Amino acid sequence: MSLNTFGHVFRVTTWGESHGPALGCTVDGCPPGIALAEADIQPWLDKRKPGQSKFTTQRREDDLVEILSGTFEGRTTGTPIQLMIRNTDQRSKDYGEIATKFRPGHADITYHQKYGLRDPRGGGRSSARETAARVAAGAVARAVLAQLAPKVEITGYMVQMGPRAIDRARVDMAEIGRNPFWCPDAAAAADWADYLDVLRKDGNSVGAVIEVVAKGVPAGLGAPVYGKLDSDLAAAMMTINAVKGVEIGAGMAAATLTGVENADEISMGPDGPAFSSNHAGGILGGISTGQDVVVRFAVKPTSSILTPRRTITVAGEEAQIVTKGRHDPCVGIRAVPVGEAMMACVILDHLMLDRAQTGGERGKIG
Amino acid sequence: MSLNTFGHVFRVTTWGESHGPALGCTVDGCPPGIALAEADIQPWLDKRKPGQSKFTTQRREDDLVEILSGTFEGRTTGTPIQLMIRNTDQRSKDYGEIATKFRPGHADITYHQKYGLRDPRGGGRSSARETAARVAAGAVARAVLAQLAPKVEITGYMVQMGPRAIDRARVDMAEIGRNPFWCPDAAAAADWADYLDVLRKDGNSVGAVIEVVAKGVPAGLGAPVYGKLDSDLAAAMMTINAVKGVEIGAGMAAATLTGVENADEISMGPDGPAFSSNHAGGILGGISTGQDVVVRFAVKPTSSILTPRRTITVAGEEAQIVTKGRHDPCVGIRAVPVGEAMMACVILDHLMLDRAQTGGERGKIG
Amino acid sequence: MSLNTFGHVFRVTTWGESHGPALGCTVDGCPPGIALAEADIQPWLDKRKPGQSKFTTQRREDDLVEILSGTFEGRTTGTPIQLMIRNTDQRSKDYGEIATKFRPGHADITYHQKYGLRDPRGGGRSSARETAARVAAGAVARAVLAQLAPKVEITGYMVQMGPRAIDRARVDMAEIGRNPFWCPDAAAAADWADYLDVLRKDGNSVGAVIEVVAKGVPAGLGAPVYGKLDSDLAAAMMTINAVKGVEIGAGMAAATLTGVENADEISMGPDGPAFSSNHAGGILGGISTGQDVVVRFAVKPTSSILTPRRTITVAGEEAQIVTKGRHDPCVGIRAVPVGEAMMACVILDHLMLDRAQTGGERGKIG
Amino acid sequence: MSLNTFGHVFRVTTWGESHGPALGCTVDGCPPGIALAEADIQPWLDKRKPGQSKFTTQRREDDLVEILSGTFEGRTTGTPIQLMIRNTDQRSKDYGEIATKFRPGHADITYHQKYGLRDPRGGGRSSARETAARVAAGAVARAVLAQLAPKVEITGYMVQMGPRAIDRARVDMAEIGRNPFWCPDAAAAADWADYLDVLRKDGNSVGAVIEVVAKGVPAGLGAPVYGKLDSDLAAAMMTINAVKGVEIGAGMAAATLTGVENADEISMGPDGPAFSSNHAGGILGGISTGQDVVVRFAVKPTSSILTPRRTITVAGEEAQIVTKGRHDPCVGIRAVPVGEAMMACVILDHLMLDRAQTGGERGKIG
């Protein structure tokens, strides 16, 4: 991964700040001949866009995507696809105080330390607006996967808000679209609505855990050492704003298991190997097994809160800060479609890398 | 990250299998004029090498490193450094059964699925032997850091074995070298010795959590989006064998915090900004703050166990497998120096990347 | 170099086709704090833009550049700089016949062979319009060089049109801007005007040789093997449309020299080593010597000509083709500012790479 | 291309100096299941090795290659292949004077300027010994091509020594192996023998031009802009020691042609498109046409000569230098197998990249 590019052969370069005229991305290496129009991308952006409920920032952005290159008559040509999204609601007045004071827990201070200057109108590149470009890229990846690996199905959802986790026994995937939290447990969603309302009115915020699952991923994607599928997934998720932890399958809890417990026993199923469980999260030795690829990541609470916090100014003076402006009380909500997009890009990139090296013909079992 | 290379400008390419004649790595992009001899590398390899207690594999390897290129009269020349380690104890007879049966939880099956063949004498590239090459590369990175950023100090230790975590109140860094587990809590280490003994005699294994801390890292390393310091750390740790989760600072627990709790408040200290806490793990917006950089990762239990597990053969027949041979009951132990090595490589790589872009002159505060 | 990206740490990704709505580039890794506005870029684009004399295509494009990201209050922020140029004169009707027939000497056929489809309205990515994005990126590189290495001065000019070379004895750099060919030899320029007029009226075209010189490049840029400064320059120039040969210093003629003739003898000058000649073109062993860096490249004649040529159709039928539309009788003319831009990008990239590895402090002589 | 790595998905990292214990390379990304043993590599090394006639350096190296990883039972496993060659005849006494004086036309001075130190026993990484590693890697590429694209046939030969070019009318490919110059023109070879003998006895040296042709390359390899097949070939050839110019097809002479002359007219042949000529050198718009891929490069004369030349010392004092030691009077001779190896690596890399993006199914014509 380069500074603003990710991917090996399906490569995405994003650009744009929260308060500039536009943002977007270049998708390079896309296979040719794939059906692709703005209408294939827009629904995913709509899913991510702000202001859809009282639980997300009230900034209003239509997030309309324009395809500026790389397609002809509704098909990809194999050349770079430029996707641009205009910023329309960049009310920079709201951000006055943060020009000179650093928000605790925010990138303000490190930007200043690294670059010696920063755009004080907003978060610049550290703003969650950057993730719109990823979602657009992810939509392209999905369109390609639909043709090259049509069984792949990617779904993200929230499994924990603050200390409140879903009950796995109550999970119903059909619930995900029915509440503002992308939560598969209706009871948890109702509980979170009350919980977040209180925090929001308090000028506080809270963290969350997101899970993204890719079903139908062919066995054999990834590579043993630094090209591990899980390593690229971990990197991809960790690049999302505010993410502080990433897990594959059993994740951190794998530490608590014995070898007997952790072994996903293998049998022959109708379509090849079948497994008694999925502690591996669909990846063994960096390579996909054909099981569901399962990734989870933790999103910290927004640092832009109304409760005063101690800080310093650029001049080094001690100060207090309260962040007004329009912020998400739980940024984890909007991270769901972003996590899905990253999964789509990584899976496709490895599918293409794999066919480069092996031709994509799997080693037969049985 | 490429298939067998990691790093942007300080780049390490590893090679070699568990049962081949040798393994090693090429360290490319190393600054010139750095004092470096085998004696600077060997102690780190000795720390990682197997067979040092009854709690690690009984395979005997001296892991003697040879510098084959890239130095002259004890100094690096700026050209690629080749580090080679001969394998001396590759008793392949022990591995007979795994040639035709797949170990549940092991890369055997995915290697076969991807490549259509694999080296049945051992784990090949998925063997923990590969990590010797990383430790050697990490020693080079430490030698460079000693000159370019002499305040950097990197320490790894185990904080949890199975469900048994250390007590942070009892931590004494001086304890780390006094027990076979790199554990900073003497009481926990004693407890783990008994616990692991029972598991080992049962032919079972167990997971662990490792923490690696880098002190003295200058503020300003990393970049906002896909060049995040934490993203590269996550990728680096996830490439270590058997790792299933990676955390920065508060990690997965960041999800449980409110914005008020999570804010690391800032004041002016004698050497620049000081922070009231370190939920951020020393990284904000992908860029180092000057605080300790804190990474944790979970290592799953070894899949090579003596308890029979259900599996299938290459021919697709159902079978049972028991893995004899010499294996680590808790591979997490030997992952400690590997995690340190990865930290050293990533920190140095970003130090060099940063001076490429910014010249390494920090934005002044105060 | 990746498919649509060049550079190691100063990385440029271009996008856009000849007949799409816009084209542009993302400049990633740019140092922060550099003064940069549209007005710093536009003059270079104006130099390259079509329709400035009867000797270049009559397509009318203003090539107005917009900076969409990466600057704040007239300075670079260290984040990706997006430069966009709208296409305004994409008269696609002119291109009717080439939709089904392949132009001999043109990328039409290979695009079809590779991608199975292509944009028949124009050259797509193989159009010289893509080079506008390079020129814009080169202007950014020049702005950075002006601050980091202010002695660097880059000049391109044409030294040969068809078989007619300039006379080195008549070279006057001040002439370059005074004729439509960027020719430093006024007599040659006058001769070329007549020569090209005849070819143009005949519906023919002709090749050219361009030379680009960078003065003031610090010694020490580049690396011995695959990171050679000359290798990256050769790659960069060869990526320009229609280039079929690249030379450094003595170039192909180096083959004709003996070792005695080729040796650029060294003495001590007032500012360090001085050389009796520059057969090396300023580069020894892949690393800059401090002498002028001298690159030449040959541009073949445009394949879009009015003289009928034998070809085949997409259906495989034999046919004849005459390419109407607006084309350059000597594309080499407009390649001059493009070559300069590539030189600027490569020099800056290596300056940054060098300070990553060595800190940029040169080994003293004397 | 990175400092010591080349290739996108078939990646080769070389290491080792002229006077260290060994040199070699890591071949990463190699497809699995390819038959490969030392015996497949050694013949190519034997072709390149020094001391085979009085016209090459009298240094005696057996250049025996050892495969240290990446194969099992004579087949590649898909993991990194380490190829090591021991240096056996590194008589460093011969090099005494060059420790303190810089050879004009040699990398001595730039190494010192960049790194502040260098290995004075020989050329270090700038020595032609590095090319043994490339030839070994090229042999691996050939083995893979034999399976994936069995029609590909790569042949290199010398077409010019000093000012003396071959006569194309006398070319007989069968002659190439019958003279010490890899010359396809027997009369020219006889002439060169006399010519070089005189130069050699004079303590002088001379340049050469090498041509490398790849027949049977499928149409569709490469990409339009920065991933051009010809750009990667130019970079690859320019990384070979002493190369100062690279040409594709008509090369620098393309500048002298008109569009009418340059057009390679197209007709339908029995196996697809056929061309009336090959000015394009088998590449249009960066993508292969299916014609022969033709690359030429110029090698300058060795700078290590017995004729005294003016130079300076590390201390900056003016001096004279005569380079004793064992050097090639025409290094171009030994560059022939190196050029072939680079061609093999680049063609394979693009074959793999192409199947990553397009699946390798060509767009049909007719």
Higher pLDDT, B53 or D90: B53
What kind and span of H or E run contains C113? helix C108-115
CA distance A82 to chain C (A): 7
Minimal Cβ distance to C226: which of D3, D102, D364: D3
Side-chain half-sphere CA neighbours of B257 within 13 A? 24
Minimal Cβ distance to B356: which of C32, C79, C352: C352
Distance CA A204, CA C106 (A): 62
Top residue of B226, B287, B357 to mutate, by most chain C CBs within 10 Å, is: B357
Chain A residues in contact with C84 (beta carbon < 8 A) = 68
CA distance B34 to chain C (A): 11
Q: What is the pLDDT of residues C123-166, one digit of tens each?
A: 788 888 899 999 999 999 999 999 999 999 999 999 999 999 99
Whether C245 and D247 have beta carbons less than 8 Å apart is answered as: yes
Q: Do A252 and B244 touch (CB under 8 A)?
A: yes
Whether B210 and B156 have beta carbons less than 8 Å apart is answered as: yes
Chain B residues in contact with C30 (beta carbon < 8 A) = 357
Instruction: Indicate whether this model's pTM tops 0.95.
Output: yes
CB contact, 8 Å: A75 with chain D?
no
Instruction: List the one residue out of B269, B310, B306, B313 whose CA is nearest residue B291.
Output: B269
Q: Which bin fits A143, alpha (ψ -120 to 50), beta or left (φ > 0)?
A: alpha
Residue B111 φ/ψ, nearest 5 degrees: -60, -45
Minimal Cβ distance to B118: which of D2, D20, D77: D77
Query: How many Cβ atoms from other residues are within 10 Å of residue B149's Cβ?
Result: 17
CB contact, 8 Å: D346 with chain C?
no
Whether D331 and D341 have beta carbons less than 8 Å apart is answered as: no
Chain C residues in contact with B355 (beta carbon < 8 A) = 355-356, 359
Q: Which residues pair with C23 in a beta bridge?
A: C16, C85
Minimal Cβ distance to D289: which of C110, C207, C283: C110
Binding partners of D (≥3 Cβ pairs within 8 A): A, B, C
Chain A residues in contact with D355 (beta carbon < 8 A) = 355-356, 359
Binding partners of B (≥3 Cβ pairs within 8 A): A, C, D
Q: Using pLDDT thresholds of 50, 70 and 90, give the confidence band for residue A326.
A: low
Pairing of strands C287-288, C283-284: antiparallel
Residue A16 φ/ψ, nearest 5 degrees: 110, 150
Chain B residues in contact with C224 (beta carbon < 8 A) = 79
Q: Do C300 and D254 touch (CB under 8 A)?
A: yes
Q: What is the pLDDT of residues C15-43, one digit of tens each?
A: 999 888 999 999 999 999 999 999 999 99
In percent, the amount of chain D with pLDDT more than 70 equals 96
Instruction: List the one residue out of B208, B102, B330 whose CA is nearest residue A264.
Output: B102
Minimal Cβ distance to A358: which of D32, D79, D353: D32
Q: What is the pLDDT of residues C45-90, one digit of tens each?
A: 998 877 777 777 767 778 999 999 999 999 999 999 999 999 987 6
Q: What is the pLDDT of residues A97-125, one digit of tens each?
A: 778 899 999 999 999 999 998 877 767 88
User: What average pLDDT does chain C have?
Assistant: 92
Minimal Cβ distance to B17: which of D15, D69, D115: D69
CB contact, 8 Å: D181 with chain C?
no
Token duo for residue C229 = 């400064």
Distance CA C195, CA C189 (A): 10
Distance CA B66, CA B36 (A): 12
Residues 6+ apart with CB under 8 A from B108: B98, B101, B102, B118
Burial class (CB in 10 A: 0-12, 13-18, 19+), C324: middle
Distance CA C330, CA C53 (A): 12
Pairing of strands D266-269, D243-248: unpaired
Burial class (CB in 10 A: 0-12, 13-18, 19+), D354: buried
Q: Using pLDDT thresholds of 50, 70 and 90, give the confidence band for residue D325.
A: low
CB contact, 8 Å: D75 with chain C?
no
Q: What is the pLDDT of residues D166-220, one digit of tens each?
A: 999 999 999 999 999 999 999 999 999 999 999 989 889 999 999 999 999 999 9
Higher pLDDT, B19 or B77: B77
Pairing of strands D243-248, B208-215: unpaired
Q: What is the pLDDT of residues A312-321, one digit of tens each?
A: 999 999 999 9
Instruction: List the one residue out of D350, D363, D356, D361 whose CA is nearest residue D228.
Output: D350
Whether B215 and B292 have beta carbons less than 8 Å apart is answered as: yes
Chain D residues in contact with C239 (beta carbon < 8 A) = 225-226, 228, 231, 286
- Residue B169, SS3 per DSSP: helix
Q: Which of D:111-130 have CB within 8 Å of A?
A: none
Minimal Cβ distance to D247: which of C2, C205, C245: C245
Chain B residues in contact with D121 (beta carbon < 8 A) = 72
In percent, the amount of chain A with pLDDT more than 90 equals 78
**Quick check: ipTM above 0.85?**
yes
Whether D295 and D283 have beta carbons less than 8 Å apart is answered as: no
Q: Catalogue the E-assigned strands of C101-207.
A: 153-161, 164-165
Query: How many Cβ atoms from other residues are within 10 Å of residue A353's Cβ?
Result: 26
Instruction: List the one residue out of C135, C151, C133, C141 whose CA is nearest residue C31.
Output: C141
pLDDT at residue C94, rounded to an integer: 57
Q: Do C115 and A72 touch (CB under 8 A)?
A: no
Q: What is the pLDDT of residues D214-249, one digit of tens each?
A: 999 999 999 999 999 999 999 999 999 999 999 999
Q: Do B354 and A252 touch (CB under 8 A)?
A: no
Q: Do D226 and C5 touch (CB under 8 A)?
A: yes
Instruction: List the one residue out of C157, C231, C162, C214 whose CA is nearest residue C191.
Output: C162
| CA nearest to C122 within chain A | A72
Q: Which amino acid is at C66?
A: E
Chain B residues in contact with A239 (beta carbon < 8 A) = 225-226, 228, 231, 286
Token duo for residue D237 = 């050839």
The alpha carbon of A357 is separated from its chain's Cα centroid by a whole number of angstroms, namely 28
Examine the pLDDT at A131 and tell me if it is beyond 80.
yes
Examine the pLDDT at B33 and tell me if it is beyond 90.
yes
Residues 6+ apart with CB under 8 A from B351: B145, B148, B149, B218, B221, B360
Instruction: List the one residue out of C100, C137, C79 whose CA is nearest residue C345.
Output: C137
| CA nearest to D126 within chain B | B79
Distances C234 to A130, C342, D36, D248 between C-alpha atoms, Å: 35, 10, 33, 12
Chain A residues in contact with D353 (beta carbon < 8 A) = 9, 356
pLDDT at residue A44, rounded to an integer: 94
Instruction: List the one residue out of B348, B345, B337, B308 whose CA is nearest residue B47.
Output: B337
pLDDT at residue D221, rounded to an integer: 97
CB contact, 8 Å: A222 with chain C?
no
